[in-house]
Amino acid sequence: MTKFTELGLKDEILKGIKELGFEEAFPIQEAVIPVLLSGRDVVGQAHTGSGKTAAFALSMLQEIQPKNGIQGLIMAPTRELAIQISDEIKKFGKFTGIKVATVYGGQGMGIQLDALHRGVEIVVATPGRLIDHLKRGSIELRDVTHIVLDEADTMLDMGFVDDISFILDLAPEDRVMSLFSATMPTEILRLSEEYLKNPKQFLLDADDLSGEGIDQSFLVIKDRDKFKYLIDFIKQTKGQSIVFCSTKYRTRDVAKFLHQEKYNAVAIEGDMSQHRREQSMGKFRSGKADILVATDVASRGIDVPRVELVVNYDVPNQEMAYFHRIGRTARAGALGKAITFVSYSSVGDWNLIKRQIKVPIRDLNQEMGIQISIPDPLKRQTPSRRYGGQSRSNYSRGGRSGGYGRSDRSRNPRDDRGGKKRYGDRDNRNSYGGRSRW
């Protein structure tokens, strides 16, 4: 592997890297940094945890000059990811004198205006709030020389393509631009063709949707038994854990029951205020909380190296959501575990996801000797959706069918709440979907 000292970076940047304990570059950093420093655009397909943030951040820090106005612009789909990127840039650029501002919806405009007025060289932004600043003149792009679109496929899913086009049309044509995405749908390729000049492509993880390096397993159980098994698995975990739930109500209830069991847990879901969400993430990142309970609002934008276990308390509503969730563990080459709880009503959904997993996955029912008895109607059920749609079976709605689970109004996480949401439904609209301004 190439050492950072061999990439031609400034001494003050190398000092920041060394203080963080890094010596050797990850493959995407080794590949991308020299190309960006040569002035050529880049399209990178890489999953979270691959080191892509450092790849574009170090390149940007190398080229940007202190006290010369806003020269670097990074767009991200969610506030959590924007905050995470800013934090990493500040660490890498600690000795460079380069300042970073983060702008996103949900935070008071005054706080962001104060930061901008003090003078910054790099802005990390969600598209909607960035447009707000552009329209009021608090951010200008005339001196921007480096632009990054991070998690471009998520921005596409959230309907930000028009916003991105509006922003890029205001930026100088003479710039170095990079686009990073976990997947490369046609719309992303069109965007890159329109706004990037002869980009060099790095499809480092194009075929890797396996979750390699993660010990993946599943357990088919009645919904009301999930909490008991959650406690059992958490007791066996030394590091931090993330528990993903399908709805904000389920998230609140699981966090509440963990508190009752004397666990130090925090929650993140779409209806929480930005201040409370930042408090929760701050506690988890600092290690003051051992467990994070979250909806898919947090499936991207969490980079906590100590996460040892991810539990899918509910089967996610998309194949890609599964891989984004489990990608919160096994960060930066570490090992991790991911366990998916499959309620009887979700067996068909889980089978769709399981087909995409390209590494061995453990069947905990066999290992633990847990017998399952799925009612016949569910065995015959064929899910009517593949990408976020809903099966029409009464079982998948968490109703009083077959005696498994109570109605959606139950507030006990042991009971089936069902009713999975798509990205953009009301649960996540403030932070992961819809057209709200960021």
Task: Using CB atoms within 10 Å of the CB of residue 43, give its burial: 0 to 12 exposed, 13 to 18 middle, 19+ buried.
Answer: buried
| Model confidence pLDDT, tens digit, residues 269-301 | 877 877 788 888 889 988 899 999 998 765 555
Residue 350, SS3 per DSSP: helix
Answer whether residue 78 shows pLDDT above 80: yes
| CATH for the stretch 214-428 | 3.40.50.300
| CATH for the stretch 4-203 | 3.40.50.300
User: Do the Cβ atoms of 9 and 16 come closer than 8 Å?
Assistant: no
Strand 42-45 versus strand 176-181 pairing type: parallel
Among all chains, which residue has been given the structure tokens 């020269």? 71
Task: Using CB atoms within 10 Å of the CB of residue 210, give its burial: 0 to 12 exposed, 13 to 18 middle, 19+ buried.
Answer: middle
Domain ranges of the chain: 4-203, 214-428
Average pLDDT of the chain to the nearest whole number: 81
Gap between the Cα atoms of 262 and 251, Å rounded: 17
Answer whether residue 176 shows pLDDT above 50: yes
Distances (CA, A) of 227 to 224, 230, 257, 298: 7, 5, 8, 21
Answer whether residue 437 shows pLDDT above 70: no
Residue 80 DSSP one-character state: H
- Which of 169-173, 178-182, 402-406 is predicted with the least confidence, judged by mean pLDDT? 402-406
Confidence class for position 406, pLDDT limits 50, 70, 90: very low
pTM: 0.58
- Which of 75-84, 130-139, 282-291, 295-304 is predicted with the least confidence, judged by mean pLDDT? 295-304
Gap between the Cα atoms of 289 and 312, Å rounded: 19
| Model confidence pLDDT, tens digit, residues 177-202 | 999 987 777 788 888 889 999 999 88
Instruction: Please compute the mean of the pLDDT values over residues 37-54 and round it to a whole number.
Output: 84
